[in-house]
Amino acid sequence: MAAMPKTETSKSKGGWGAVLALTLCVSTLISSEFMPVSLLTPIASDLGVTEGQAGQAIAVSGIFAVLTSLGISSATRGIDRRRVLLAYERAEREKDPARRQALLTFVVIGGGPTGVELAGALAEISRQSLGRDFRHFDPSSARVILIEAGPAILTTFPEMLREAARRDLERLGVDVRLGKPVIRVMDGRVEMAGEAIDAATVLWAAGVAASPIGASLGVPMDRVGRVIVQPDLTVPGHPEIFVIGDLASFTEPDGKPVPGVAQGAIQMGRHAARNIRQALDGKPYDPFKYRDLGNLATIGRASAIADFKWLRLTGWIAWVVWLFVHIMNLIGFRNRLVVLVQWAWSYITYQRAIRLITDRPSGRETAA
């Protein structure tokens, strides 16, 4: 969010004493012992539960919310990796078969790019990275279940690519369940209509509420807490304030919303910066126009899908394109080289370093 000094007219030239701040605003990651229903309400509708039902039908206790992939694209570090690995360690010590099966069941809620990447990475971890690390059970017996309330995963992609992604997930051993709205998530249990799954690890990838800083502006907001911005990315009634990135709700003239992805945030940031410079020169703001550069999603090792409108790719070639796009968007040759070497090593060694359990245990983990 960026604020312009309010002068006689906000679009007139500002003085040297003006302080201009341009901050990329991103959604908050909700990862707590209890997710308040007030924050869950907008998410509930994405799962097929109406806002009126959310307070009654959805209960979340001990849910593990993650928004980053466990695959090569991230270093698989921190609390997300820790909880996943500790589930395997506890399964090694568990004598009760039913309890062990629950520890080895990983449920991912949400069939968007995040959920698909998480499910694929978890399946590869159990079948490749941890394949020979335990004596009392076979890690490949772990169940990875991807739950989506809608009729398909990756709904922003064409049907051909969606089906290719689903086949790749099933090839990895992921149990893809479509048309299954989640009505309750408790500690160790996920409930859907007519079905319940015992799972020690539940990963929420169905979306989160936007940063609460947007509410402090006292301006119109959408149902997930994003600020509804003007065509020039300013706040209604406050042309000196810009809101960009995941905190901004921007609808194009054709009625399509700008997706909450990196390319949208980058384009918004550049446009807001240009408008700020124009304001300093006494020029009017220009409206923002989103340019869709394509859509990418990775499913697993050498598996991805890519949609560039004029070209659609699947499998290994799409995965190579995905790697190239991510590397080229890094700043500086050194960063690109380092990341390329790290990814290459992870690919060759099947991410053996993923087995390291790092960070301090939380109180809940200690108690367990």
Q: Taking Cα atoms as reference points, which of 109, 124, 85 lies closest to residue 189?
A: 109
Query: Which residues are bridge partners to 3 per DSSP?
Result: 241
Measured CA distances, 352 to 99, 127, 316, 357 (Å): 27, 12, 21, 12
Active site residue 8: no
DSSP result, 300-321 = ETTEEEEE-SS-EEEHHHHHHH
Contacts with 257 (C-beta within 8 Å, 6 or more apart), sequence order: 249, 250, 251
* Burial class of residue 303 (count of CB atoms within 10 Å of its CB; 0-12, 13-18, 19+): buried
Whole-number Å distance between alpha carbons of 286 and 222: 23
Q: Which of 117, 124, 148, 240 is catalytic?
A: 117
Query: Which residues are bridge partners to 195 per DSSP?
Result: 192
Do residues 295 and 29 lie in contact, with contact meaning Cβ atoms separated by under 8 Å?
no
* Burial class of residue 145 (count of CB atoms within 10 Å of its CB; 0-12, 13-18, 19+): buried
Active site members: 117
